[in-house]
């Protein structure tokens, strides 16, 4: 497979792997629902960069070396749980309990969302292990240039999906019934992801 094919494969994988429910998906939807679309897109960009890093590590074989060490996996899971819980608490405290349809969009920063998206995804050993499985199944002997091309494609694909998610959620009416329940659902999902990640490695 040439480098163009590797990028194309990565694009597809980035979109597909971004679809399942995860911390960044929930964070992007929650931020977009709070009318912080730029911040939501920044979260998605951070998550996409983390996906690209995981992809590169997996396809060059480093990811497997990390995930085969229980002590490292345990530490990463704890760090990921702390990051997710911290984000959940901050997002909950920042929410507007009574959003108004005529309220202006909240001032938010794309740049502030990127490190938050990175923190929600990069330490997650489960995500790294999943990319290791994908690498072993699809392209176990990828060269460095091919792995980089794949990672770039995955990052772009993930970023496109998260940006689309932010756009779709931000277009919902502020008085839509989903907005009443979304903060509670987001908090519950964050807690479940954090606890589940730790329990899997204990």
Give CA–CA dist 117/49, Å, rounded.
Answer: 9
Q: List pLDDT tens digits, range 26-73.
A: 999 989 888 889 999 999 999 999 999 999 999 998 888 888 899 999
Give CA–CA dist 51/128, Å, rounded.
Answer: 8
Q: 90 lies in which domain range? A: 3-201
Q: How many domains does the chain have?
A: 1
Rounded percentage of the chain residues whose pLDDT exceeds 70: 89
What's residue 148's pLDDT?
95
What's residue 108's pLDDT?
62
pTM: 0.85
C-alpha separations of 50 from 27, 31, 47, 155, 198 in Å: 15, 19, 5, 8, 19
Strand runs labelled E in 84-165: none
Q: Give me 36's structure tokens.
A: 């912080």
């Amino acid at each position: 497979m040439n480098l163009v094919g590797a990028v194309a494969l990565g694009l597809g994988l980035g979109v597909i792997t971004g679809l399942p429910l995860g911390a960044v998906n929930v964070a992007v939807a929650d931020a977009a629902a709070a009318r912080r679309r730029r911040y939501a897109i920044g979260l998605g960009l951070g998550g996409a960069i983390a996906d690209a890093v995981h992809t590169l590590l997996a396809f060059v074989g480093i990811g497997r070396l990390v995930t085969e060490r229980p002590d490292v996996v345990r530490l990463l899971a704890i760090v990921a749980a702390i990051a997710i819980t911290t984000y959940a608490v901050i997002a909950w405290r920042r929410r507007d309990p009574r959003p108004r349809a005529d309220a202006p969009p909240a001032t938010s920063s794309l740049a502030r969302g990127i490190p938050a998206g990175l923190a929600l995804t990069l330490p997650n050993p489960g995500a790294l292990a999943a990319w290791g499985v994908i690498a072993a199944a699809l392209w176990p002997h990828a060269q460095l240039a091919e792995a980089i091309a794949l990672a770039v494609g995955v990052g772009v694909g993930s970023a496109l999906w998260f940006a689309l998610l932010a756009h779709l959620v931000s277009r919902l009416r502020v008085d839509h019934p989903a907005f009443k329940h979304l903060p509670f659902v987001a908090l519950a999902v964050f807690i479940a992801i954090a606890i589940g990640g730790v329990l899997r490695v204990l």
